[in-house]
């Protein structure tokens, strides 16, 4: 029980840092230089204003200086970060998959909100992620360098091909380079089978959300600006948590039935 408490608190702390990454990285601001400030009154926050979740509750979701509302996203990111770490701890204990999948899930969490806000997926996350995915494949129990390499090529190559075809079809950029690099990173970590599952599930989730979003939002309906990265991230989490089971069900019920 004490290990779960420790990992849960660590997850909250990492989530607090992810909030810094999500806000500062797209603006090319230093991640470790300078203390946090209120984005409304620009005053420097005290250390006790930044206690994960607790500060938000004590301050009732408002700045301690100017009472400007604080986005619910901040405690939400912290809670999701903690929940991911606890989930993988329960699944794998303190074995290698716990560290690998926790790190990947946290990277996906940052990508989700950065792409949602700025329509970019930073190379600072995806390029080191590709290298890390290939490196982990060498570790005993990993997917192996062949599977990781094929996954990287299938992930990045499939979206690159889709982007080329989309550009020709719609006569404008249909998919950013960040999505392609993100798919390559996911392929390196998870292998080609799961990256295909990510494409299918991500596209399905994206289609449903996009239709609903464009129906209720005039801005989205007019501009048609809906980033694909968040849907890839959701598809990736589905593949990480249930990928083996879903692939096995598909093989048993569709391929073997033939």
- Identify which of 18, 125, 33 has the alpha carbon closest to the alpha carbon of residue 75: 18
**What is the percent of the chain where pLDDT is above 70?**
92
Q: Is the confidence at residue 38, as pLDDT, over 80?
A: no
Mean pLDDT of 170-195: 88
CA pseudo-torsion sign 211, 213, 217, 219: negative
Which sequence spans correspond to the domains of the chain? 1-94, 96-258
pLDDT of residue 166: 78
Q: Are residues 52 and 13 in contact, defined by beta-carbon separation less than 8 angstroms? A: yes
Q: Is the confidence at residue 220, as pLDDT, over 60?
A: no
pLDDT of residue 236: 96
CA 140 to mean position of chain CA atoms: 26
Q: Is the confidence at residue 219, as pLDDT, over 70?
A: no
**What is the percent of the chain where pLDDT is above 90?**
57
Q: How many CB atoms lie within 10 A of CB 150?
A: 19
pLDDT of residue 225: 65
Least confident of 16-25, 149-158, 249-258: 249-258
pLDDT class for 216, splitting at 50, 70, 90?
confident
Q: Is the confidence at residue 33, as pLDDT, over 70?
A: no
- Identify which of 213, 15, 242, 50 has the alpha carbon closest to the alpha carbon of residue 116: 213
- Identify which of 168, 169, 190, 184 has the alpha carbon closest to the alpha carbon of residue 244: 190
Q: Which has the higher per-residue pLDDT, 85 or 177?
A: 85
- φ and ψ at residue 108, rounded to 5 degrees: -65, -35
Q: Are residues 16 and 52 in contact, defined by beta-carbon separation less than 8 angstroms? A: yes
How far apart are the C-alpha atoms of 166 and 176, rounded to whole Å? 11
pLDDT in tens, 44-96: 777 777 889 998 898 888 887 888 888 999 999 999 999 999 999 999 999 99
CA 235 to mean position of chain CA atoms: 10
CA 57 to mean position of chain CA atoms: 25
Q: Is the confidence at residue 217, as pLDDT, over 80?
A: no
Q: Which has the higher per-residue pLDDT, 218 or 71?
A: 71
How far apart are the C-alpha atoms of 130 and 181, rounded to whole Å? 8
- φ and ψ at residue 54, rounded to 5 degrees: -60, -45
Report the run of H or E that residue 197 belongs to, with start and end.
helix 192-216
Q: Are residues 18 and 106 in contact, defined by beta-carbon separation less than 8 angstroms? A: yes
How far apart are the C-alpha atoms of 159 and 249, rounded to whole Å? 25
pLDDT class for 218, splitting at 50, 70, 90?
low
Q: Is the confidence at residue 167, as pLDDT, over 80?
A: no
Q: Which has the higher per-residue pLDDT, 148 or 166?
A: 148
pLDDT in tens, 223-247: 556 788 999 999 999 999 998 888 8
pLDDT in tens, 92-129: 999 999 999 999 999 999 999 999 999 999 999 999 99
């Amino acid at each position: 029980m004490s290990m779960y408490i420790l990992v849960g608190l660590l997850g909250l702390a990492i989530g607090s840092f992810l909030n810094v990454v999500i806000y500062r990285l797209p603006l090319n601001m230093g991640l470790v230089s300078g203390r946090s400030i209120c984005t409304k009154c620009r005053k420097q926050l005290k250390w006790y204003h930044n206690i994960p979740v607790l500060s938000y509750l004590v301050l009732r979701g408002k700045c301690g200086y100017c009472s400007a509302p604080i986005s619910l996203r901040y405690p939400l990111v912290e809670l999701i970060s903690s929940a991911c770490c606890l989930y993988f701890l329960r699944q794998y204990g303190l074995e290698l998959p716990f560290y690998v999948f926790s790190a990947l899930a946290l990277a996906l969490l940052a990508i989700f909100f950065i792409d949602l806000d700025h329509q970019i997926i930073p190379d600072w996350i995806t390029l080191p992620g590709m290298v890390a995915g290939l490196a982990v494949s060498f570790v005993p129990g990993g997917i192996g360098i062949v599977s990781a390499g094929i996954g990287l090529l299938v992930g990045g190559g499939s979206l690159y091909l889709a982007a080329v075809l989309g550009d020709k079809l719609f006569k404008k950029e249909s998919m950013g380079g960040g999505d392609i690099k993100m798919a390559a990173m996911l392929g390196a970590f998870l292998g080609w089978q799961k990256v295909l599952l990510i494409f299918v599930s991500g596209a399905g989730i994206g289609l449903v959300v996009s239709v609903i979003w464009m129906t209720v939002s005039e801005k989205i309906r007019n501009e048609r600006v809906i980033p694909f990265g968040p849907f890839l991230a959701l598809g990736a989490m589905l593949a990480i948590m249930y990928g083996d089971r879903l692939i096995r069900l598909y093989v048993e019920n569709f391929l073997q039935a033939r």
